Amino acid sequence: MTSSEISTAEKLTPSGKPPRKFNFRQSRYLQGRLTALASHAILLFGALFVVVPFIWMLSTSLKAAGKTFVFPPQWIPDPVVWQNYPDMWNALPFNSFFLNSVKISTLNTIGQLLTCSMGAFVFSVLKFRGRDALFLGLIATLMVPYQVTLIPTFILFSKIGWVGTHLPLWVPAFWGGAFGTFLLRQFYMTIPLDLAESARMDGANIYQIFRYIYVPMSKPAMAALGIFTFMWSWNDLLNPLIYVAKLDQLTLTIGLSFFQNQYGGKWTLMMAGAVVSILPILIVFFFAQKYFIQGIALSGIKR
């Protein structure tokens, strides 16, 4: 055999066929698919880990009394007892609790969006002496624990006669907030100043620039702040407990705590109340989830 025939024979497989060439493109594609599959599996496991308590809560709210802690767990109630929800609703004035929570959470959200957007616009667009130092002072308030200012704030509201009303629960939202101002300012910083300067050259004033340029472009960030504010206000337990005493002025969180003290052994009714308490947050997030995700990404310009 010649040298060329020997080299050709060495390249042949035992079956007499030439070996297949390694395809790097297929290998990378397969590796990417496996990575995506593993990522989706981990996310699915995490989602199930988070959703299972809510499924158990909903299932328990529809069970008959005495079937809450049966083993093995009964995930699908048999029979389905819808009467648990009317019984829970009529046990205490939950209608007033619910309306109070809606009122306070809505006013808090409006106040935060209004004042924080204005403050963020000032700190991100306008230029004046001491702007950065003032903003650092505002951010420094985030490091002050809420418990430190609780007593002075209560004394202030008691002096002006607001204790025993809903005013301390929503009026401070119209004074602004460090977190909301910081969040919206970071978003406004991603918007090119050329837009504001062009509008200024066309004759627009500061209010028009804020109203017609920055507010429409900041919908994602404002939706994120709105969801955060509504959720924090809806789940707030400490402030209503301090400032409100009358039964018809209580919020839903205080009402559920009061309900737990009186009907501690009735788990089906308690879970029905818990389901009712989280429904508004789920509805708000469902309708604003698109803007919420964009706001978390803090991308000021659509690409």
Query: DSSP class of residue 293?
Result: H
Name the most confidently modeled range: 43-52, 89-98, 232-241: 232-241
- pLDDT band, residue 65 (cuts 50/70/90): confident
Higher pLDDT, 44 or 72: 44
Give the number of domains in the chain: 2
Same-domain pairing of 93 and 201: yes
The tokens for 70 are 């049966």
Same-domain pairing of 145 and 261: yes
Residue 226 lies in a domain: yes
- For residue 48, what pLDDT is reported? 82
Taking the alpha carbons of 259, 91, 107, 280 in that order, is the dihedral positive or negative?
positive
Residue 66 lies in a domain: no
Position 264 pLDDT exceeds 80: no
Give residue 200's Cα distance to chain centre: 35
Q: What percent of the chain is helix, strand and coil (3-state, nearest 5)?
A: 75, 0, 25
* Cβ neighbours around 280 below 10 Å, total: 18
Same-domain pairing of 184 and 291: yes
Same-domain pairing of 181 and 221: yes
Of 59, 81, 102, the last residue of a domain is 59
- Of the given ranges (27-31, 101-105, 107-111, 126-130), which has the lowest mean pLDDT? 27-31
- For residue 298, what pLDDT is reported? 52
- For residue 132, what pLDDT is reported? 86
- For residue 302, what pLDDT is reported? 42
Q: Which domain holds residue 27?
A: 3-59
**Quick check: helix, strand or coil at residue 239?**
helix
Give residue 234's Cα distance to chain centre: 12
Mean pLDDT, to the nearest integer, of 28-38? 78
Of 39, 59, 79, the last residue of a domain is 59
Query: DSSP class of residue 3?
Result: H
Q: Cα separations (Å) of 270 from 62, 68, 265? A: 11, 12, 9
CB burial class (10 A; 0-12, 13-18, 19+) of residue 110?
middle
Same-domain pairing of 114 and 261: yes
Q: What is the pTM of this model?
A: 0.76
Q: Cα separations (Å) of 2 from 9, 11, 242? A: 11, 15, 99
User: For position 167, which CATH number holds?
Assistant: 1.10.3720.10
Same-domain pairing of 24 and 97: no
Same-domain pairing of 275 and 156: yes
- pLDDT band, residue 114 (cuts 50/70/90): very high
Same-domain pairing of 26 and 125: no
Same-domain pairing of 110 and 232: yes
Position 10 pLDDT exceeds 80: no
- For residue 194, what pLDDT is reported? 83
Same-domain pairing of 50 and 156: no
- Of the given ranges (24-33, 139-148, 210-219), which has the lowest mean pLDDT? 24-33
Mean pLDDT, to the nearest integer, of 255-259? 82
Residue 188 lies in a domain: yes
Residue 76 lies in a domain: no
- For residue 303, what pLDDT is reported? 37
| Mean model confidence pLDDT for the chain | 81
Position 269 pLDDT exceeds 50: yes
Residue 145 lies in a domain: yes
- For residue 60, what pLDDT is reported? 82
CB burial class (10 A; 0-12, 13-18, 19+) of residue 195?
middle
Higher pLDDT, 66 or 277: 277
Position 300 pLDDT exceeds 50: no
- For residue 157, what pLDDT is reported? 92
Position 268 pLDDT exceeds 60: yes
- Of the given ranges (149-158, 176-185, 287-296), which has the lowest mean pLDDT? 287-296
Per-residue model confidence as pLDDT tens digits over 220-231: 888 888 888 998
Q: How many helices and strands in the chain, by DSSP H and E?
A: 15, 0
- pLDDT band, residue 26 (cuts 50/70/90): low
Residue 83 lies in a domain: no
Q: What is the dihedral of CA 116, 117, 118, 122, to 10 degrees?
A: 100
Amino acid residing at 290? K
